[in-house]
Amino acid sequence: MLRTSMRTMATAARKSLTIGLIPADGIGKEVIPAARTAIEALGSDIPTPKFVDLIAGFETFTRTGVALPEETVEVLKNDCDCALFGSVSSPSKKVVGYSSPIVALRKILDLYANIRPVVSVSPNPNEPSKVDMIVVRENTECLYVKQEQLTVGEHGKEARATRLITERASTRIGKMAFELALARPRKHLTVIHKSNVLSVTDGLFRESIRAIPLQDTRFEAVTVAEQLVDSAVYRLFREPQIYDVMVAPNLYGDILSDAAAALVGSLGVVPSVNAGDEFVMGEPVHGSAPDIFGQGIANPVASIRSAALMLRHLGYIEAAKRIDNAVDSVLREGQLLTPDLGGTAKTREVTEAIAKRI
């Protein structure tokens, strides 16, 4: 949940909503247009959307030598109210001069929270979802500070990485998680860590979040539990219903939310937003999927739901509900599903079906 100032700014009378579109690599180029279509279908429920096409990604790097052009950053900072990011094809091996643009944007725009709802769609709309959780991932620290070094020791090469956990970052991601938990019926928050081994770094993360209810008595209504990250993965598959809101350092949150996607059928249906106090950027959880890029079969659901999440965080609740209800309707019918969900439908067909129901 974003600060009141951002919501007030968003819901105040305005004539237009400027949205930066960064498809980036691979199927991002196919699913971000789908999200745009869904937003355009909302009509007068939101201010008139104005879209700004921006570039970033590994393909941009190979073409220009820069993964995140300064122009893209400046337009986002100065001209856009929010943004949607597609997917990035970061290489698994070190490429001199390259750094992930999405990781950079999270830091530059101070989008410190990656919020990833994982929700199954019940066959009966009157029945509760079997899986209904939110993974809240700290977005700026942990091993993602990317401070690594390779040296040669007595026994050969030695690689080291710096892991950064600060009280400030842990506290503010914790507050975001508490706000989300407080707004949900179960009001339950699970703190994910490995402080039995990483007693200093994970210990600080755990202690910082545990201290939050002492500073804000509103959060005393939230039940707080803890789970070691390895046990959390095990229980995620054995009994996912025990989780409501989970909060985790950057790496654990990334792994847990990707794993949780298996519970709802595919990474292609799991959305997220990168949220800060002044800006929000939707981003589907899936990657660039080079194996299916260009075939027109990428699942657009995650990007469309990410657009809904973005609008919800801006305060456009009813518009977001319209999108989510339309997606639920298409998935529930099961007639138009992309191959990742066992169907044969094309990206375009699913997008059009959702847009018609919006």
Name the catalytic one among 144, 243, 252, 316. Answer: 144
Query: Is 53 annotated as catalytic?
Result: no
Cβ proximity of 61 and 98 under 8 Å: yes
Instruction: Give helix 70-79 / helix 101-108 axis angle, nearest 10°.
Output: 40
Query: Is 94 annotated as catalytic?
Result: no
Of 110, 79, 89, 82, the closest CA to residue 173 belongs to 110
Query: Is 340 annotated as catalytic?
Result: no
Q: Is 235 left (phi over 0), alpha (psi -120 to 50) or beta?
A: alpha
DSSP 272-339: -EEE-SS-EEE--SS---TTTTTSS----HHHHHHHHHHHHHTT-HHHHHHHHHHHHHHHHH-SS--G
Name the catalytic one among 244, 254, 324, 340. Answer: 254
Query: Is 234 annotated as catalytic?
Result: no
Name the catalytic one among 45, 110, 258, 277. Answer: 258
Name the catalytic one among 53, 79, 216, 230. Answer: 230
Strand partners, 18: 50
Query: Is 252 annotated as catalytic?
Result: no
Name the catalytic one among 194, 244, 252, 346. Answer: 194
What is the set of active-site residues? Answer: 144, 194, 230, 254, 258
